[in-house]
Amino acid sequence: MNVQQLLNQFKKTRDYSVAICATLAIEDYISQPVDFASPPKWHLAHTTWFFEEMILKKYLKDYFVFNENFSFLFNSYYQTIGERAVRSHRGTMTRPLVAEVYDYRNYVDQHIFKLLENNIFFDVEQFMILGIHHEQQHQELLITDLKHTFSFNPLNPIYQKDFNLTEDKNADEGWLKMSEGIYEIGHNGEGFCFDNELGRHKVYLHHYEISKTLVTNGDYITFMEAQGYENFNFWLDEGWSWVCENKINAPLYWQKIDGIWHYYTLSGLKVVDKDAMLCHVSFYEAQAFATWMGLRLPTEFEWEAAAEKFNWGKRWEWTYSAYLPYPNFKIAAGAVGEYNGKFMINTMVLRGSSVATSEVDQRKTYRNFFHPKDRWQYTGIRLAK
């Protein structure tokens, strides 16, 4: 990638973050009702901090930071960098003002352009590419976090009238038969990938079949009506405890009004479309549904081996694989090494991508990961047998 291509991609990415926030009121930038979802203002600042901290401080001579306090306020989880504000307190930061965060973005952008005026060298290029993909990940979080925040509002606010991301339907049907044998898993070295995709290796898979379709809302309603949430036999013990302790009886954002299921979308409250792909379910729910069906979830290796033969990309798809390192995986030195490796515990792998994922990160080797209880992302279910 030459300098101009890199700058174009940088500008396109930075502009899109701002575009996501274009319809927000000033009050929307700050709210944080749950600790795992961050306010838009924080996302805008944190992605800017990444470029400042990882690139400008190191590679631009005589660079003067925009605000000395921002490294503390907008560092996420990088122990290497230093102390950080408490994650659950991000929504209490009424200062700096939203306008100052936008000034911060402009300041850093101008200095990135200044840095790249001269010939770019390898380290800067690699950090720039990582920073761009990092911001694209946060753009997805901007959308999903904003939806989660809006869902707490009894007025069911509309983000955009034409922004219902839950209406996609399956185009295929039936099962894909996969032969037993040895398959290669992991990134092949062409194009960008995150470090957790590296360590391409062979796995042996027994004969299996994987569904060409994702589970629909109608399928899941049948499970609910069959008392799926009341029968412990379908659930893992930890999942059953989660259901009981949190009184879970439906996917996230669902509510029954006058006997009819509705769900909150970024286009407002809608009647559940029974033909649309299910989303916003946890691993616990995905596993329980599969068990009720007499089927199972695919492993991440089964998913990747078959991915070229079915349609994907509308929902993150839960797999029955723990998030673990591939062979020869190494954690990089410094802050970049904290990006993925230290989270390889107590999480499950999701494959594919979702309607909120950047197009450049839609590749079959991408390994997303969340705790089994998490469901505020656009997560769905594909079955295997």
Q: Could you tell me the residue ranges of all domains in the chain?
A: 3-151, 175-380
> Span 3-151: which CATH code?
1.20.120
Residue 331 pLDDT grade (very low, low, confident, very high; cuts 50, 70, 90): confident
What is the pTM assigned to this prediction?
Answer: 0.96
Q: In what order do the strands lie in the sheet with 316-322?
A: 368-370, 348-352, 316-322, 379-380
Mean pLDDT of 105-117: 96
Q: For residue 36, give the nearest of 88, 78, 83, 71 by alpha carbon.
A: 88
What 5-8 contacts at long range (C-beta under 8 Å, 24+ apart), as own/partner pairs, is: 6/116, 6/120, 6/125, 6/128, 6/129, 7/113, 7/116
Instruction: Give yes or no for residue 228 having a pLDDT over 80.
Output: yes
* Residue 227 pLDDT: 98
Residue range 299-314, pLDDT digits in tens: 999 999 999 999 999 9
Q: What pLDDT sits at residue 322?
A: 98
What token pair was written down for 307? 């991915």
Which numeric CATH code is attached to 175-380? 3.90.1580.10
Whether pLDDT at 11 is above 80: yes
- The mean pLDDT value for 351-378 works out to 96
In this predicted structure, what is the pLDDT of residue 81? 87
Which pLDDT tens digit goes with each residue over 139-165?
999 999 999 999 999 999 999 999 999
In the structure encoding, which two tokens stand for residue 258, read together?
Answer: 């006058």
Give the tens place of pLDDT for each residue, 66-83.
999 999 999 998 888 889
Amino acid 333: pLDDT:
78
- What's the pLDDT tens digit per position in 354-363? 999 999 899 9
Examine domains 3-151 and 175-380 and report if their fold is the same.
no
At 28-59, the pLDDT tens digits run 999 999 999 999 999 999 999 999 999 999 99
pLDDT at 119: 66
User: What is the pLDDT confidence band of residue 336, given thresholds at 50, 70 and 90?
Assistant: confident
